Amino acid sequence: METSINNNNNDNGYMNQAYVGSLNASTISIPGAYKPNESSNGKKPLPEGSGSAPPLGPGDSAPGAGQPGKQRESWNNDIEFLMSCIALSVGLGNVWRFPFTALENGGGAFVIPYLIVLILVGKPVYYLEMLLGQFSSRGSVKVYDFSPIMRGIGYGQVLATGIVTTYYATLMALTLRYFVDSFYPTLPWSYCREEWGTECLDSGPQEASRATSLAGSGVRTTSAEFYFTNIILREKASIDDGIGYPSWSLALTLAVAWIVIAGIMFKGVKSSGKASYFLALFPYVVMLVLLVRALTLPGAFDGVLYFLRPQWHKLLEPQVWYAAVTQVFFSLAICFGNIIMYASYNRFGHNIYRDANIVTTLDTFTSLLSGVIIFGILGNLAYENNTTDIASVVNGGPGLAFISYPDAIAKFKWLPQLFSVLFFLMLFVLGIGSNVGMASCMSTVIKDQFGHLKNWTVVVGIAIVGYLLGLMYITPGGQFLLNLVDYFGVTFVALVLAIFELVTIAWIYGVKRLCRDVEFMIGIKTSLYYRICWAVVTPLLMLTILIYTLVLYEPLKYKDYTYQSGVYVFGWCLSAFGVGQVLFWAIPAVRKQPSHLGLWARIRKAFEPLPNWGPSDPQTLKRYQQFVQEGNANALFRRSSIWHKIYDNIFG
């Protein structure tokens, strides 16, 4: 889809030779390695705190983010960036969300809209965010130096990312608890306790005669579900009288989770990059083991066929397409600022196009692989229960990973403890990889704003605050809160801000200028596929999903519990606060414009890139500015009608 112009791979990029002049090729033997203790123009970076600089205002760029000053840290080599992106994007959403979203939306028929949405939304936006981060060497907030009035998009996305980070860590705490419990001689969720009464059904293997006698006794609850609800969560029927106190065991595992996250992030991308090899690759080792085991179970083939067999009538249902968009959106972690942040630590000329294709393809492959594994296990469960209805042997919902999967593992007759240990270790590693990416996004924003802070102080601060906020999710009413803030503070906010982001980049900064930046940076002419998706298809699809969400909105519930009216008010206030960051940060951006301008002129000026927008290396920035000036000079001789401007923005 793309046409390469120049293959001169170096730290300054595949830039047009007319604007680059002589380039400094890396002398390091490792492909894609970064020059230690040197900036890309060959000069040593200034020591931290050296020299004097004017105080930074809210809209100013920190040194190392597009202007001379403190050298921005970078990956040890290109592979670490790729592995970190894989660890970030391939997470719990692939392992447990995708298979059951597919189950609810037509099995194999869901895969078709999923792949279409991946092509029209996932790949273009992932590539777009990688480009912006690498081109500017700025985090998810400073990257809006290309249009300072829209900087609030970045702050709103960081807010949503912060909320996800706090509750995502509690999922890691639950995973650790199950991981520890897996070492018991008998899995503790595989059998019923006396206090659970006759409604409980053992999750462990049962004799055929007993299973047959229980088949006609009505709907019963598995011991795995009782264990998760009554012992792990200690869940309440409602939160009208409060949420209760945190579980001490989960508080301990939550502390361990944050210690692991902070340890990986302690030295910034230098340490998280090294950890990324394990975080990205280990889950696939476990998945291959589980795949072999799942496909050798009796009845597994029927389960896999159920997963892959299409129901074509489902393609006409809007809900299927809505599910496909949300799955791609949250699985790839696009429009949260994380991709921009990781790419900002790349060398300028890194082949970002290749990496974007690798990560998005691997993310899809992992989802399909997980589907085969899970439905193989479900096929076995249906076989053991003498039924052909695959959907009847599993429970969906947020407790899926901690009810259905443990229930399935408990039914293994051969070493269920081993598979339980492997499964929950895999979940923990997948979750940690994603959590490190989200926490790193916040730390990058803080360090970009307050350059004097040391990395370890920022990391420790995030870990402490994240731990304290996470305690409310491990109370008896914690899942009620998680459900609430996930919808109002994350899902809705991220969807609205994603539309703002796409429109800002495509129509304020401009697809045409973005494509010129791509050509300058990596020497690739952008194809019509990306141009049309960025400008038209992707924003319209996201807007359609937002309208669909609002039209079909029903008051949020957790299980059968309806929140009090005041809770809904709080939820919408949380959404308004997240989306309102766009307006909040637009005001100082306008105020910072030259005082002699009128209000309308100030607003228009605030939409324009800052003078130092572009590559972080001063020499490369100078060449880029010359590159832009010549392009602008050529544009003076073109027609200026509105339709021609639209056409020129997309195809120019």
In a domain, 451, yes or no: yes
Q: Which of 107-116, 129-138, 399-408, 629-638 has the lowest mean pLDDT?
A: 629-638
| Residues of the binding site | 90, 94, 331, 430, 434
**pLDDT above 70 covers what percent of the chain?**
84
Instruction: Tell me, yes or no, whether 534 lies in a domain.
Output: yes
CA 156/CA 29 separation, integer angstroms:
41
Question: What is the number of other CB atoms lying within 10 angstroms of the CB of residue 49?
Answer: 10
Residue 35 lies in a domain: no
Banded model confidence at residue 207, pLDDT cuts 50, 70, 90: low
- pLDDT (0 to 100) of residue 511: 94
Q: pTM, whole model, 2 decimals?
A: 0.84
Strand, helix or coil at 107?
Answer: strand
The gap between the terminal CA atoms of the chain, to the nearest Å, is 17
Paired with 70 in beta bridges are 46
Q: Is the pLDDT of residue 117 over 50?
A: yes
Q: Structural domain of residue 199, as residue ranges?
A: 80-204+219-589
Q: Which tokens in the block code for residue 647?
A: 């056409």
Q: What is the DSSP string of 189-227?
A: TSS--GGGGGGEE--S---HHHHHHHHTS---EEHHHHI
Phi-psi region of 51 (alpha: psi -120 to 50; beta: other; left: phi over 0): left
Cβ pair 154, 364 in contact under 8 A: no
Residue 309's pLDDT is what? 79
pLDDT at 151: 95
Q: Is 577 exposed, middle or buried (0-12, 13-18, 19+ CB in 10 A)?
A: middle
Binding-site positions for Na(+) read: 90, 94, 331, 430, 434
In three-state form (DSSP H/G/I as H, E/B as E, the rest C), the secondary structure along 323-383 is: HHHHHHHHHCCCCCCHHHHHHCCCCCCCCHHHHHHHHHHHHHHHHHHHHHHHHHHHHHHHH
Tens digit of each residue's pLDDT (9 = 90 or more) over 476-493: 999 899 999 999 999 899
Range among 212-226, 407-421, 457-471 rated most confident:
457-471
pLDDT of residue 44: 41
CA gap 10, 466 in Å, rounded: 39
Closest CA relative to residue 171, chosen from 484, 408, 424 = 424
Is residue 199 in some structural domain?
yes
Contacts for 431 with CB less than 8 Å, ≥ 6 apart: 91, 92, 168, 171, 172, 175
Asked whether the predicted pLDDT for residue 156 surpasses 60, the reply is yes
- Six-digit token pair at 273? 């990059």
Domain tally for the chain?
1
Contacts of 156 by beta carbon, 8 Å cutoff, 6+ apart:
493, 497, 578, 579, 580, 581, 582
Give the Cα separation of 187 and 191 in Å (integer).
8
In the predicted model, what is the mean pLDDT of the chain?
A: 82
Return d(Cα 490, Cα 241) in angstroms, integer: 26
Q: CA 340, 515, 505, 531 torsion: positive or negative?
A: negative
| CATH number of the domain residue 271 falls in | 1.20.1740.10
pLDDT for 485? 93
Phi, psi (deg, nearest 5) at residue 538? -65, -50
Q: How far apart are CA 103 and CA 304, in angstroms?
A: 11
More confident residue, 365 or 218: 365
Q: What is the per-residue pLDDT for 176? A: 95
What pairing do the DSSP bridges indicate for beta strands 3-4 and 200-201? Answer: unpaired
The CA-CA-CA angle for residues 592, 595, 599, to 5°, reads 85
Q: Give how far Cα 342 sits from Cα of 194, 276, 442, 497, Å.
A: 51, 12, 12, 19
Q: Which long-range contacts (CB under 8 A, 24 or more apart) does 526-533 make?
A: 526/2, 527/1, 527/2, 527/3, 528/651, 529/1, 529/124, 530/1, 530/124, 530/127, 530/128, 531/650, 531/651, 532/650, 533/120, 533/121, 533/124
Q: What is the pLDDT of residue 180?
A: 95
Strands 557-558 and 561-562: antiparallel
Kindly report, residue by residue over 283-300, the tens digit of the pLDDT.
898 888 888 888 888 888
Least confident of 97-106, 207-216, 374-383: 207-216
Task: Write down the pLDDT at residue 66.
Answer: 42
Which pLDDT band holds residue 386 (cuts at 50, 70, 90)?
A: confident
Distance CA(516)–CA(286), nearest Å, equals 43
- Look at the block and give the residue holding tokens 């960036």: 81
Query: Which pLDDT score is estimated for 31?
Result: 35
Q: Quick check: is 632 in a domain?
A: no
What is the pLDDT averaged over residues 322-348? 89
Residue 645 lies in a domain: no
pLDDT tens profile 55-83: 444 444 444 444 444 567 888 888 999 99
Within-domain flag for 30: no
In a domain, 34, yes or no: no
Split at pLDDT 50, 70, 90, the class of 34 is: very low
**Better-predicted residue by pLDDT, 169 or 211:** 169
Distance CA 441, CA 433 (A): 13
Please check whether residue 40 is in contact with residue 348, taking contact to mean a CB–CB distance below 8 angstroms.
yes
Contact yes or no for 294/469 (Cβ under 8 A)? no
